[in-house]
Amino acid sequence: MRLVCLLLAASLGAAPFRGSVVSVDREAGALRLRPDSGAEVVAAAGQGDLEIGWAGRPVRGELVESSGRFRLERIFPEDPAVLSEMTAAAAALRRDTVERGRLVARAEGDYAPAFVLWGQDGAPVRTADLRGAPYVLNFIFTRCKAAEMCPASTASMAGLGKALRAEGLAGKVRLVTLSFDPGHDSPGVLRAYAAASGLDPEHHRLLTGDREMVRDLMRQFGILVLEQDGTLVHNAATVVVSADGRIVSRRPGARFDPAELLPLLRRLAAPR
């Protein structure tokens, strides 16, 4: 019950914000915002959002006021063309999920489901962007405190990133992490999480986006997520996808030994 109260308290005093970022002051740790209606306001922002910058871009988020000071949290892009593309992709995935019925989870040999999501740099990431090189995919949410779940999965992915660099495979094998808590895990939150977790910023993409699309992706990848007692209860897996988009391997569980994946990844990354 205590965790429920903490999570609810975090949203008190927050108001939805839609508008644009006029400028970024990294030294002051603040964004100058122009809402769709009303006067400009200066708001603090997290380190991840300050690094993204957002200057000149339409965004949405939660504007939190405390003692006359503002902070913009959970910032997402509001680029109309990309949002339209995401809506169409989410609708297509929804239809596919319904048509698959009870046997919705994709197996080894199946193509990975198509998506359009936001990366930790605030840019869209499409399934097509990942084609041409194999990738390793895991699933987390940044608020997870269960040591043997998301933190263990993230540590394994960080270890895999180091092993790929040592093997000369960085860039030839992509690493991808998908958050199943898109209400909280905005691009800026994921960027800060990646930095704190030692993930390779150049070769590791962290993804978030439309809640319905993320829900259907979880189902199709066989990840079950339930909200219970104010947090998320879930299983875990690591999925290896080939350069042409087929699921090659699905390993249940959060933790894995990077050395065990290297022979498969060497083979998948070898020139053909």
Q: pLDDT tens digits, residue range 63-81?
A: 999 988 999 999 999 999 9
Q: Let me know how long the chain is.
A: 272
CA-based nearest residue to 110, from 244, 257, 268: 244
CA-based nearest residue to 238, from 111, 138, 108: 138
First-to-final CA distance of the chain: 55
Cβ atoms < 10 Å from Cβ of 84: 10
C-alpha dihedral (111, 265, 221, 256), degrees to nearest 10: 170
Q: Residue 231's Cα: distance from chain center in Å? A: 18
With b meaning 16 or more CB within 10 Å and e meaning fewer, what string describes 89-110? bbebbeeebeeeeeebbbeeee
Q: Which amino acid is at 199?
A: L
Q: H/E/C letters for each residue in the chain?
A: CHHHHHHHHCCCCEEEEEEEEEEEECCCCEEEEEECCCCCEEEECCHHHHHHCCCCCEEEEEEEEECCEEEEEEEEECCHHHHHHHHHHHHHHHHHHHHHCCCCCCCCCCECCCCEEEECCCCEEEHHHHCCCCEEEEEECCCCCCCCCHHHHHHHHHHHHHHHHHCCCECCEEEEEEECCCCCCCHHHHHHHHHHHCCCCCCEEEEECCHHHHHHHHHHCCCCEEEECCEEEECCEEEEECCCCEEEEEEECCCCCHHHHHHHHHHHHCCC
| pTM check: above 0.85 | yes
**Torsion-angle region of 135 (φ positive above 0: left; ψ -120 to 50: alpha; else: beta):** beta
Q: How far apart are CA 253 and CA 87, in angstroms?
A: 31
Cβ atoms < 10 Å from Cβ of 66: 10
* pLDDT higher at 87 or 103: 87
Average pLDDT on 45-56 reads 97
pLDDT in tens, 191-248: 999 999 999 999 999 999 999 999 999 999 999 988 877 788 899 999 999 999 999 9
pLDDT in tens, 2-44: 222 223 334 457 899 999 999 999 999 999 999 999 899 999 9
Confidence (pLDDT) at 148: 94
Domains of the chain: 2-77 (2.40.50.140), 101-269 (3.40.30.10)
